[in-house]
């Protein structure tokens, strides 16, 4: 079984689109896909709605997506060709509590692709891809912490240039392969070849 993790430094920079393109571009690998969402204080992990509950059953929620057209990120994975798809929700900093369930599903998976940075604390994937947009300043601490472990970086047009990030050194990705990511082609043929080569065997 191969495990691929797709992370990124902030929201809305194309991580889910990269997941879709990776799944679609490597059909036949029997992907089980995971979307991991960590909610902040006051937001329920069960449904993402505002709440002030502290009950144990709201600490984590894991649901399997059954519909490929429901409009959720996990449904997009199914539409792209994933065999199974899961949405994992936890409170911020409590992903560890969801890991037993995630590991159980990983044991049943052919290959797995996971959208998350924080899961890197608990897994050593066969491939970790970081999606970066040099024009967006926000940079999650989890992305910064694992950036030097990226096996590949995807950036718009394949150029990092001079990012607007503050306190993030490009030395963390020095020597890391950089691939172009564009709307309509979030995973280039070159990148997909790189993935296949890295996952051989």
- List the CATH number of the domain containing 99: 3.40.50
What is the per-residue pLDDT for 102?
96
Quote the tokens at residue 39. Answer: 């909610």
Give me the number of domains the chain comprises.
Answer: 1
Residue 122's domain comprises: 3-199
Phi-psi region of 155 (alpha: psi -120 to 50; beta: other; left: phi over 0): beta
What is the per-residue pLDDT for 95?
94
What is the per-residue pLDDT for 101?
95
What is the per-residue pLDDT for 55?
42
* pLDDT, mean over the chain: 91
What is the per-residue pLDDT for 92?
86
What is the per-residue pLDDT for 93?
87
Cα distances from 24 to residues 61, 66, 76, 189, in angstroms, run: 27, 18, 11, 12
What is the per-residue pLDDT for 45?
42
Quote the tokens at residue 18. Answer: 């990269």
| 127-147 average pLDDT score | 96
């Amino acid at each position: 079984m191969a495990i691929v993790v797709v992370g990124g430094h902030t929201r809305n920079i194309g991580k889910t689109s990269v997941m879709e393109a990776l799944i679609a571009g490597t059909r036949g690998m029997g992907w089980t896909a995971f979307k991991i969402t960590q909610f902040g204080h006051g937001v329920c992990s069960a449904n993402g709605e505002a709440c002030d509950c502290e009950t144990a059953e709201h600490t984590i929620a894991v649901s399997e997506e059954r519909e490929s057209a429901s409009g959720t990120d996990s449904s997009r994975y199914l539409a792209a060709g994933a065999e199974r798809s899961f949405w994992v929700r936890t409170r911020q900093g409590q992903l560890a509590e969801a890991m037993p369930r995630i590991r159980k599903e990983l044991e049943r998976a052919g290959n797995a692709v996971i959208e998350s940075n924080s899961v890197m604390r608990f897994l050593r994937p066969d491939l970790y891809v970081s999606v970066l947009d040099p024009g967006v300043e926000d940079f999650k601490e989890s992305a910064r912490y694992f950036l030097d472990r990226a096996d590949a970086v995807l950036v718009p047009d394949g150029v990092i240039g001079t990012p607007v990030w503050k306190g993030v050194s490009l030395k963390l990705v020095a020597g890391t392969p950089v691939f172009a990511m564009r709307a309509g082609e979030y995973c280039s043929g070159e990148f997909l070849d790189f993935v296949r080569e890295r996952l051989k065997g």
